[in-house]
Amino acid sequence: MFAKIISLILSAVFSFLWLFGIVPGVTVMRDVAYASQSQSQKVDIFIPKNKGGEVGLMLMIHGGAWIGGDKSDYSDACRSISSNYGYITATMNYRLIGENADCEDMLADITACLEEIKACASDKGVKIKSCALLGGSAGGHLSMLYSYKNQAVSPVEISFCVSLSGPTDLTDPNFYSQENAILYTVAGGLIGVPEMNETNIGEYTEMLKEVSPLSYVCSDVPATLFCHGMKDSIVPYSNAVSLEKALADCGAEYTFITYPNSDHDLTADPDKSDEYYHTLAEYAEKYF
């Protein structure tokens, strides 16, 4: 009973400290500007204290259909990973479609963000060994696309990427439906053509391929861990199946975890979530 009371007190203390940006054993840098074109270009960075040598970085990219979401979605995950496993973590905001940003702008934000994190870590006496990009939905799409397409220009070597329900193929006809008609406009925004619709989408197939991670799969892409629900009503399961086939065909390293009962939020298969967390830890141990 006494141990339980102490545990509850410590939990309350840590929660209180967290409200003020204090994480025991971790230096927290909030709202660090990594560029100046937009107020969105900010990142929260979590650097474990007393870490020497080279350390792995996990950069988390929020979802929200490229039109919403916030870096705070991953604050708890960053705090936990840095505190318990000793990795540098960060969660970033980036320019969105509503700011007239297209996919190339978002990828450029990831590059600038990685540069800033690398510099901040160096100022704290920590060298980043390599990084992993992680994200859900739109964040998963950007994590994969950047890792596959921009790994050569990344200021930090990319060891692996992680996607939870992320779109992989924006030319997949299953991606567009009457229920999700807004996806025409959103996908059009990614390629700088907001007027794209059901009637004219065929004119933009090549442009949509350019913003699809599937288009860049080859044998030397970073290892990929991706999860997808078979009942996903936003990003069709066929997107994940196509990615798995492409990765397998070229001999790339990957792990695909199917959530048989889950929709886009991946909440209906707790056993698969356990498998995901276990696999993520294995990836970090192996590739960092």
Q: Mutual orientation of helices 103-123 and 138-149 as an angle, nearest 10°?
A: 80
Structure confidence at residue 24 as a pLDDT band (50, 70, 90): low
- Mean pLDDT, residues 140-159: 98
How far from 158 is each of 8, 20, 58, CA to CA, in Å?
A: 39, 32, 10
Question: How many residues are listed for the chain in this entry?
Answer: 288
Rounded CA-CA distance 170/168 in Å is 7
Rounded CA-CA distance 279/258 in Å is 13
Residue 181: per-residue pLDDT: 81
Q: Name the pTM for this structure.
A: 0.91
- Do 82 and 47 touch, CB atoms closer than 8 A? yes
Question: Does the structure show a pLDDT above 80 at 246?
Answer: yes
- Mean pLDDT, residues 4-17: 37
Q: In the predicted model, what is the mean pLDDT of the chain?
A: 92
Structure confidence at residue 23 as a pLDDT band (50, 70, 90): low
Residue 10: per-residue pLDDT: 34
- Mean pLDDT, residues 185-206: 96
Percent of the chain with pLDDT over 70: 91
- Mean pLDDT, residues 233-259: 98
Residue 52: per-residue pLDDT: 73
∠ CA(171), CA(219), CA(61), 5° rounding?
60
- Mean pLDDT, residues 249-254: 98
Higher pLDDT, 198 or 16: 198
Question: Does the structure show a pLDDT above 50 at 5?
Answer: no
Q: Tell me which residue of 168, 154, 163, 194 sits closest to 67, measured CA to CA.
A: 194
Rounded CA-CA distance 11/16 in Å is 9
Rounded CA-CA distance 157/48 in Å is 20
Could you report the per-residue pLDDT of 94-125, keeping only the tens digit for each?
999 999 999 999 999 999 999 999 999 999 99
Which tokens in the block code for residue 217? 């799969």
Rounded CA-CA distance 235/139 in Å is 13
Which tokens in the block code for residue 21? 């940006």
Residue 158 pairs in a beta bridge with: 131
CA 29 from chain center: how many Å?
A: 19
Phi-psi region of 65 (alpha: psi -120 to 50; beta: other; left: phi over 0): left
Rounded CA-CA distance 222/93 in Å is 23
Q: Where are the beta strands (DSSP E) in 151-200?
A: 158-164
